[in-house]
Amino acid sequence: MRIESLMRTVFWNYDTNETKMIDQRILPGELAIVSFKDHVSLGHAITNMTVRGAPAIGAAAAFGLALAGFESLASSTSTLLEDLEAASATLKKARPTAVNLAWALDRILDRLRGFSGGADDLRQAVLEEAQRIADEDVEINQRMAQHGAALIDDGDTIIHHCNTGALATVDWGTALGVIRTAHEQGKKVHVLVDETRPRLQGARLTAWELQQYGIPFDLISDNMAGTFLHTGQVQKVLFGADRVAANGDVANKVGTYMLALAARDNDVPAYSVVPTSTVDLSLAHGGLIPIEERDQAEVLEIRFMGQTATPKGVTARNIAFDVTPHRLLSGIITENGVVYPPFDENLPRFVKTT
């Protein structure tokens, strides 16, 4: 059974056997849906951030594998499996940090081991599992949001980093989903939205989502967060994660580490909100998480007063993620409840209940 929604970030068109998704590069100026018929172009869409956010990337990759099944001309199950393995390897290269990408692909292929049936049955099985991953993401986000909303008090001002709403997932959201749920419960919350340079996911995407939900917010530049925390104007800090190590270290959009440091220095609770699929128990600590460095043009092409903000000839570094040490986290909110320190002891129990 498919969960129906007015708008999902990524979804399968059953009439045309295409993957469709919201093009997040052009929001908030335009809400456009783009279509993909092959897994290679879908992989490019993950790389160029047409779709972004760890859960959304995982679902997109899963549907990309379904596309690969329909692309393949194989008439035997064994040959089709080989084609799917090759497509999986291609898709895994799209972005290295978000563990959900590889998790979704491995989950599908693992469930196909020893598959008995024809090639067309196998194609259908891949699509069914991809759809299941997408539908589960919505349900998981809503469970996670309920656990997180219980930590939000009426009247809280919350700093939120990057975008973790419906756009970062299949639907609903992680950290922003918590805020959305608290708002729908009638709690009066106010959000301070980090711009999230250089791609401005906070300014472009989170601000747009909060407008749709009618949640009060102010946009702040990334370097203002410490001042708001130091002056007692913030009660909670929320962000998502692209990968969580076994000890609770969190890789998230760059700037999260500095935000968590400022929160700890001012005794403000900081929570990472993640589905357990984002927890990578195979990595002992965050230093082992691969960190993506993107094209310097994303930094150099930021514009000010109608022109690029940097002189010609300038070079830049563009590290996309940083690692927040577990000691700075008050808790990790998952669909199975809130995980508190010591994370190395408690995280495995929460992950294994899924």
Distances (CA, A) of 117 to 121, 124, 194: 6, 11, 51
d(CA 244, CA 274): 8
Active-site residue (options: 171, 222, 242, 249): 242
d(CA 25, CA 48): 8
Nearest residue to 334 (alpha-carbon basis) of 236, 250, 216, 229: 250
- Active site includes 344? no
A 10 A CB-CB count for 309 gives 12
Distances (CA, A) of 225 to 108, 110, 159, 192, 237: 41, 43, 7, 8, 10
User: Which segments of the chain does DSSP mark as H helices, in order?
Assistant: 39-47, 54-71, 77-92, 99-111, 119-149, 175-184, 201, 207-213, 225-230, 256-265, 297-300, 343-351
Q: For residue 33, with 0-12 CB atoms within 10 Å meaning exposed, 13-18 middle and 19 or more buried, which class applies?
A: exposed
Angle, CA 55 vertex, CA 49 and CA 60 arms, to 5°: 60
Distances (CA, A) of 215 to 10, 204, 205: 24, 15, 14
Contact 228, 262 (CB under 8 A): no
Nearest residue to 95 (alpha-carbon basis) of 48, 161, 40, 63: 48
Q: Which residues are catalytic?
A: 242
